[in-house]
A and B are shown apart, each in its own frame.
Chain A
Amino acid sequence: MKENKKMKTIKEIRVDVNKCNGCLSCEMSCSAAHAMPPYTSVNPARSRITVVIDESTDAYIPIRAGDYAEAECAGRNKYTIDGKEYESCLLCPASCPSRSRFTEPDSGLPLKCDMCESLDIGEPMCVQVCHPGALTYHEYQVEAEDSITPERGEKEIGLEYLVKRYGLEEVVKSVATMAKKSA
């Protein structure tokens, strides 16, 4: 039976926080690679990876953008790792209403890391430019779960966000108006 099970590829970026030198080449290159068209501008504020730097505790933590959260957390945690204290908010990959991290600076739309799949460049760009070796890329196969959420691209994520914020009717109205204008 087992050989009939569906397999899926897990793509993973491993982070060695001790190797990070804080150069932010990952942020810079991510923002350039995802510019439209690719590489036409640079703006780390649009990056889908952010390096949280706290020089007072010597914390250098690259974090990749995950899904957006609709609301703030009900409660927060504080972690102490090797004697250094981290707030869970600092380590959280979500684009959320309580802060500006992982939101487009112009539109406020959420940003999400796509492992550079949309770019056809092989390993994710952030890994390719991380010469200190804090970021490394790994791929492996695991058995697929039965229920897999359908793939959502950038457009879908953005639209979902707008629908949740303004309601489906409002978004449809706006799209219809825009379609009329450009027709």
Chain B
Amino acid sequence: MRYAETGFNLEIDLTRGNIERVATDPELTKLYLGGQGTADKILWDRVGPEVEPFSEENLLIFSSGLLNGTFVPGANRTIVNTFSPQTNLHAHSMMGGYFGVEMKHAGYDKIILSGKAPKLVYIYINNDNVEIRDAAHLAGMGTTEVQDFLKKDLGDDKLQIAAIGLAGENRVYTASIEHSHCSASRGVGPVMGDKRVKAIVVRGTKDLQMAEPEKLFHICKDLRKDLADNPGAGDWMAVDEDDGFHHDNFSWGNARVRQKNYWSEELQQRWTDIKYDHMDRQTGCYNCPKKCHNVISWPGRKRFSYKCFGKDTYHMASFQELDFSYEILGVAQEYGLDSYSTPQVIAFALELLEEGILTLDDFPGMPEDIRGRFFYILDMIVNRRGIGDKLANGVYWAARQIGNGAEKFDHNTTKKFEQVPIKLGKVNPMFFLMIATGEKMNITQIEGSFPQDPLPTIEERQAFVDAWEAVPDEKFKKYFMEWERRNEMPSGAVCDIVDWNEAMHYIDDAIGLCAFVSSFRGQFGGKTQYNIHNIPDLIRMAAGLDLSKEDLWKVFRRNRNLVRAINVRRGMRRADERPPEDHWAVRDEEFEQSLLSAYYEFKGWTQDGIPTPETLEELALGDVREDFEKRGIYSAAE
């Protein structure tokens, strides 16, 4: 009997049209739990370092987190993994909503796509009935348009659909996969397009079993109420209209200009009115009482939704106001574009035009006004028209393909991926390590448990740590009590803090918990709903796996090291682990490199960032060690 999971993966070879329901090994659940953990085991075993992201051999894996579909509130993430054409590395992506839960009820923990369909198709999954269907009539459809069309065409409002828009069809690197009011970004959209899959439609009506269901039900009933009442969980930006944090501190344009005193009461009132005058509702995901998605109806646009910083990126890249984000998001989401990286690509293009590296000849017929220009370039990118064909490959590649000095305007990427546009004064050691060594390509996917800022008085700190249940170890309380200035923290403490931040994300990615109720949220207020102490009990009652806190931590380390191993095998090394050079105005190379060295040692990695043989053996990753030795990865690094 398998609990919490179905014990089967759905394997679809798009080249040959072969469909198989494959039983999975329960031992792998013990080692990696599920979600991204077990997906990465598949990527390690089956996709060698020579495989190009745009090739039949690359896999696109949709994983339902281990706790998805169980009674545990907030466990609903679908994790999508593949190899990204932008970074040529492991792609980590995920989305909320209902898709992964529906997969479980259809009888599958994962949907694994291999090969490439000869023409555009969609995949229809209704329990055991799985079909690859022609999608010629869906070509070019918007992401919400196609979901709506398929539900009506197939006559079932309970279908859950993950789809790409025109951007994904045209293999734009910043393309996303969209589902309900959620999206999966960072490299997975173009791979779905490359596999010629427009959409995956899932309907499942099977029971899901848990190990101690009755007990779990009642615990989760209380948990759900706590979660509803807990201001320390969910997206506070859905209700707090003061967004001075992003607007005063983050950079505008092509991550260039900081406007320290931008926010004002007058602005806040005006923008609050714009929001509530156009907001239909706020929605949550499966089995979560929170309301993190703002659903907006803007004249002339398809209804769209956003959460968190996704509201700001377009108007900050264009020096406009909130109404511009609302005006463009409905279009960009239909195209299926990531709202973090896409606005940066457009701002980068306009900067190249200003600098004379690109000329107006590259933008025939482009409007004069900035808003018109954003729409115009967005359209060029999505259709890969003219210069848009290069811009569609993201800032890093576009800069190199345009040449003529464009490279030096690529100033905000790490590992070839656009970073959150923050340019600050002094190096923050925690953020230095997180941006440098993160392999999920976005700081939001590693930061989160330890507070971003110290508290001013001892009394406030004491009150904070007294109520701080989430800490895995008492030492974190000591670090916080002694913390005076944001950018000053002893190196040993920095390593511990970054490791804890990262740990919670890796656990969430395996079990399907949303970061807003868990890994991301402790940095703001400390009172997150889930933590290293209460998760093991939930896993035991749901999945029947008896894990201690220490065991769970070890799973994190195993899953973390497997991602590192996958990327090391594809060539990633210490030299790649550099935050953008202008991320901080004042840099200290010697200090930064010594911190990086200390962290590598702390992690059990060589000074080139490669997991040592001892680390791999300790984590039952002996096959990785053998592979590294066979390929000469250790000897080459010496």
Contact = CB atoms under 8 A, between A and B. Distances in A.
Interface of A: 18, 20-25, 28-29, 32, 35, 38-46, 50, 52-56, 58, 60, 90, 99-100, 105, 128-129, 131-132
B205 A41 contact: no
Nearest to A105: B205
B614 interface: no
Is chain B's binding surface mostly helix, strand, loop or mixed?
loop
A55 B204 CA distance: 20
A24 B208 contact: no
Contacts of A99: 155
Given A45-B205, A131-B289, A132-B284, 19 more contacts: A21-B284, A24-B287, A25-B73, A25-B287, A25-B288, A32-B71, A32-B213, A39-B214, A39-B217, A40-B209, A50-B158, A52-B157, A55-B144, A55-B148, A55-B295, A56-B148, A56-B302, A58-B280, A131-B224
Contacts of A20: 281
A42 B157 CA distance: 20
Contact of B105 (A25, A43, A56, A90): A43
Contacts of A24: 98, 286-287
A22 B221 contact: no
13 contacts: A21-B289, A24-B287, A25-B224, A25-B289, A28-B287, A41-B208, A45-B158, A45-B205, A55-B180, A55-B295, A55-B303, A131-B289, A132-B284
Contacts of A131: 224-225, 228, 289
Contacts of A100: 156, 205
A23 B289 CA distance: 6
Interface in B59-82: 69-71, 73
A40 B144 CA distance: 36
Contacts of A43: 105, 205-208
Contacts of A55: 144, 147-148, 180-181, 295, 303
Nearest to A41: B207
Q: Which of A24, A40, A42, A100 has the most CB of B within 10 A?
A: A42
A40 B281 CA distance: 34
Contact of A132 (B98, B289, B295, B297): B289
A-B interface, 7 closest residue pairs, ranked by CB to CB distance from nearest? A45-B205, A131-B228, A105-B205, A131-B289, A39-B214, A58-B280, A41-B207
Interface residues of B, number: 47
B459 to A, nearest CB: 34
A23 B284 contact: yes
B221 A128 contact: yes
Interface string B106-117: 000000000000
B144 A23 contact: no
B345 to A, nearest CB: 28
Contacts of B290: 21
A23 B208 contact: no
Interface in B145-177: 147-148, 151, 155-158
A54 B71 contact: no
Given A32-B71, A52-B157, A131-B225, A21 B283 contact: yes
A42 B71 contact: yes
B210 interface: yes
Contacts of B71: 28, 32, 42
B285 interface: yes
Q: Which of A24, A29, A44, A46 has the most CB of B within 10 A?
A: A44
A92 B204 CA distance: 22
B282 interface: yes
B486 interface: no
B296 to A, nearest CB: 10
A27 B221 CA distance: 14
Given A43-B208, A58-B297, A22 B144 contact: no
Contacts of A29: 217, 221
B578 interface: no
Interface in B584-637: none
Nearest to A57: B303
B477 interface: no
A128 B104 CA distance: 25
A97 B348 CA distance: 57
A21 B96 CA distance: 14
Contact of A129 (B157, B221, B297): B221
B21 interface: no
Interface in B279-319: 280-291, 295, 297, 302-303
A90 B158 CA distance: 12
Interface in B346-385: none
Interface in B26-75: 69-71, 73
Nearest to B145: A56
Contacts of A60: 281, 283
Nearest to B221: A129
A60 to B, nearest CB: 7
Nearest to A40: B213
B224 A40 contact: no
Contacts of A56: 144, 148, 302-303
A22 B297 contact: no
Given A28-B71, A56-B148, A18 B157 contact: no
Contacts of A45: 105, 158, 204-206
Nearest to A53: B157
Contact of A40 (B70, B156, B214, B302): B214
A56 B302 CA distance: 8
B514 to A, nearest CB: 12
B189 to A, nearest CB: 19
Contacts of A21: 281-284, 289-291
B284 A42 contact: no
A23 B214 CA distance: 21
A146 B153 CA distance: 47
A23 B287 contact: yes
Q: Which of A23, A28, A29, A99 has the most CB of B within 10 A?
A: A23
B378 to A, nearest CB: 22
Q: Which of A39, A58, A60 has the most CB of B within 10 A?
A: A39
B151 to A, nearest CB: 8
Nearest to A18: B281
Q: Which of B73, B157, B204, B285 has the most CB of A within 10 A?
A: B157
A100 B157 CA distance: 11
Nearest to A37: B214
Given A21-B289, A22-B284, A40-B214, A58 B209 contact: no
Q: Which of A20, A28, A55 has the most CB of B within 10 A?
A: A55
B138 to A, nearest CB: 16
A35 B71 CA distance: 13
Nearest to B295: A58
Contacts of A41: 207-210, 213
A163 B482 CA distance: 76
A21 B294 CA distance: 11
B70 A38 contact: no
Contacts of B286: 23-24, 28
Contacts of B281: 18, 20-21, 58, 60
Contacts of B213: 32, 39-42
A163 B209 CA distance: 32
